[in-house]
Structure 1
């Protein structure tokens, strides 16, 4: 009888354990199929050494396959990561938030990169990238292999963060450090908002543009600090309705439109506003640059640069339609990029070169409707008795308000 009771007791206990295990399994299943996905649950290790590429992709696939408002969590720590593509569409996801609290550290083995991608987000609607995390491209070891500054045909090194074909994207509070090539690139995106972005690289790092924008519409970058070895922000071909506000730029090459006119069938660049910015210790301030011998006609139109402080900038205001970064370029045909309706308003500060305003337009298609209002740029380059000057070619600008240097006609 005792044996029978003992057997019944053990059977009851086992049954209870089975029921509890099933309940726990149900809770785990609901958690893994719910709306929060932690990369640690997919095998990621925040030790700075373990290759987390597979774990991150597995976590992404699970999050992208969920429904509603989804969150992908990268907790604090350092995660070593090879090239990854976070690709949609995520058909049933309304918004996908990547809560990036940790530091992603890129592989320095260039053989691992078949393209210019380290981290890519693509074909997504409603992506939010936030959390205060850092993308560390570990670019110093790769920079000596960058041949693009000297060669027209060169292999592009990996970009830290690349957005391709996204809609309604928000990037907030993210840091990019020492990219191998561009820090952030936007291609074919619509309605992109970036704010509180920090970008850091030394002044001698080649082609490390902070944010490169190409073939997008509805882009807003605000309240961001960018110091790098190339353009803080570069606006390439095919962009419209771009606003840059509250940008602190330096070191670097300033805020540039271009270079444009190098390739066939480039798109126009229209409706750009750059305002409330501080540009410090850079090679250029605000610049429009186009190549000579353009294979196709394109246009740059309706742009406003206003309320900008220049602090020890070499070329504060520049339109350069003979742009050539190489030892030799084909100059047989003037630039075919048409520049019109450009306003420089309330530009003030200091220039380290005597020519503070350079408007060098194409003799084939001279610039039209260039307006200068309240420009005050003093020389601080160290040559005694020198004042700032203006140089103009193939343009008749309209001037109003205070003008230092004196206008050229």
Structure 2
């Protein structure tokens, strides 16, 4: 077997070729077919010797790994430049994805090597793919362009998109770096009165129209806007994530879910300038568990109903989350002009460490000229019902540990408070509950005293 392997190896290498173009290796596609025993893996590293301006040689490694199952497998050469994080490597990533996605093998894998930095401009990795499973293994660092000016004429709403892929696995120990600091300084959310402020800001990693997919063990840092977005997708697992951005960074939600169903966010550490996890319109069967959140704005259902649309959000379960120094704990926020419902929501087994608004419902969420404020009451509203708060313990940094501000037009109903033990983080200070149009029941200990109406 050893002799057979090395014989094939040397034959394979002899068939791969590289073409020079003005002192630099050009990317060439070499697809080879060969019959090999079933159920073997072949990791094919494509090394390109580039001539830099100083004529020194730089070794490039970006490769596709294909499972060999008596089908074609490939050696793909990619022009990945100098993996310095400063030269555009978008074409190499696009070529790598296309090769893997079109491979008729089991679980083709795009591998981004460790200890390497790559610069990638806005890029969409399109599906569907031939294989029922495909992997994107991130070991190095993928960098977004840092200057907003270079996004002119490009998709400034989203940076990296995986679209229409089934059986996608994004994994590794690498990093998506959004380089968002210059965007934050231009954000209308941060500077609502600034002339020429940016209303369209790129979200980093976008999973759109995907099914049966997993994102695991990835670091995402300093996104210009949301770090991870799950949109119009189903059966998605997001786990073991490390997501960070400065506390002052605007709209840098860790994970945002919308128009999706059957999503599990699990076992992750999130510290950003906005919601650690936010759940938007038309979402159902969402579970958020074992999360360390802070700094940030907590875990939010909403905001929803901003455009006067009919909202349908249900079966949302948030459990075993530890909030540290966040501005909110568990929050539901709706706009008055919205219609529809938010129902069957549970917040359970929550711990709080100096959280400003531990339990929070705001049905008057709005803005006036870009600034959050007291908006004029409307006759419409989203109906919030069947919401359970159970086993929530810890400390509050504000006087009102329970704040349920429900609509005078469409009151909150079916709220249940159970086993709530929240005290002030300041010695000797009492805390209270504040409720408006909130109806429900209590069970077990509720501290501070419940303000629910029957």
Structure 1 residue 154: deviation in Å?
Answer: 5.7
More displaced stretch, 304-313 vs 257-266: 257-266
Residue of structure 1 in register with 2:96 after alignment: 59
Structure 1 residue 29: deviation in Å?
Answer: 3.6
- Contact conserved, 1:37 with 1:63, CA < 8 A, in 2? no
- Contact conserved, 1:285 with 1:310, CA < 8 A, in 2? yes
RCO higher in structure (CA 8 A, sep ≥6): 1
Q: Partners of 2:432 and 2:327 in 1: how far apart?
A: 17
Structure 1 residue 334: deviation in Å?
Answer: 4.5
- Contact conserved, 1:374 with 1:400, CA < 8 A, in 2? yes
Residue of structure 1 in register with 2:444 after alignment: 401
Residue of structure 2 in register with 1:283 after alignment: 327
TM-score by length of 2: 0.80
For the aligned residue pairs, the C-alpha RMSD in angstroms reads 2.3
Structure 1 residue 298: deviation in Å?
Answer: 1.2
TM-score by length of 1: 0.89
1:368 aligns with 2:404: no
- Contact conserved, 2:186 with 2:198, CA < 8 A, in 1? no
- Contact conserved, 2:288 with 2:319, CA < 8 A, in 1? yes
1:180 aligns with 2:227: no
Structure 1 residue 260: deviation in Å?
Answer: 1.1
Superimposed CA distance per residue, residues 274-300 of structure 1 (whole angstroms, 9 cap, x where no aligned partner) = 011101100000000011233xx2100
Question: Judging changes above 3 Å, is the alpha-carbon distance between structure 1 residues 307 and 208 closer, same or farther for their aligned structure 2 residues?
Answer: same
- Contact conserved, 1:291 with 1:335, CA < 8 A, in 2? no
More helix by share: 1
Give the unaligned 5+ runs of structure 1.
1-19
1:232 aligns with 2:276: yes
Question: Judging changes above 3 Å, is the alpha-carbon distance between structure 1 residues 359 and 260 closer, same or farther for their aligned structure 2 residues?
Answer: same
Residue of structure 1 in register with 2:340 after alignment: 298
1:147 aligns with 2:188: yes
Indicate the SS of the match to 1:115: coil
Residue of structure 2 in register with 1:244 after alignment: 288
- Contact conserved, 1:60 with 1:86, CA < 8 A, in 2? yes
Residue of structure 2 in register with 1:320 after alignment: 362
Q: Partners of 1:47 and 1:189 in 2: how far apart?
A: 34
Superimposed CA distance per residue, residues 168-196 of structure 1 (whole angstroms, 9 cap, x where no aligned partner) = 01111011000001101111000000110
1:24 aligns with 2:8: no
Residue of structure 2 in register with 1:70 after alignment: 108
Structure 1 residue 261: deviation in Å?
Answer: 1.3
- Contact conserved, 1:293 with 1:330, CA < 8 A, in 2? no
Q: Specify the structure having the higher radius of gyration (Cα).
A: 1
Superimposed CA distance per residue, residues 359-396 of structure 1 (whole angstroms, 9 cap, x where no aligned partner) = 1111111111000000000011x4x6421100011012
Q: Partners of 2:363 and 2:163 in 1: how far apart?
A: 34
Indicate the SS of the match to 1:63: helix
Q: Partners of 2:405 and 2:90 in 1: how far apart?
A: 48
- Contact conserved, 1:37 with 1:62, CA < 8 A, in 2? no
Structure 1 residue 407: deviation in Å?
Answer: 1.1
Structure 1 residue 36: deviation in Å?
Answer: 5.5
Structure 1 residue 141: deviation in Å?
Answer: 1.7
Structure 1 residue 109: deviation in Å?
Answer: 2.8
Structure 1 residue 21: deviation in Å?
Answer: 6.9
1:336 aligns with 2:381: yes
Q: Partners of 1:43 and 1:103 in 2: how far apart?
A: 17
1:96 aligns with 2:134: yes
Residue of structure 2 in register with 1:106 after alignment: 144
Q: Partners of 1:324 and 1:86 in 2: how far apart?
A: 36
Residue of structure 2 in register with 1:10 after alignment: none
Superimposed CA distance per residue, residues 297-350 of structure 1 (whole angstroms, 9 cap, x where no aligned partner) = 210000110000011000000011111252556424155100000000000000
Superimposed CA distance per residue, residues 72-127 of structure 1 (whole angstroms, 9 cap, x where no aligned partner) = 1100111111111111111x212111111011111013242433111111111000
- Contact conserved, 2:276 with 2:293, CA < 8 A, in 1? yes
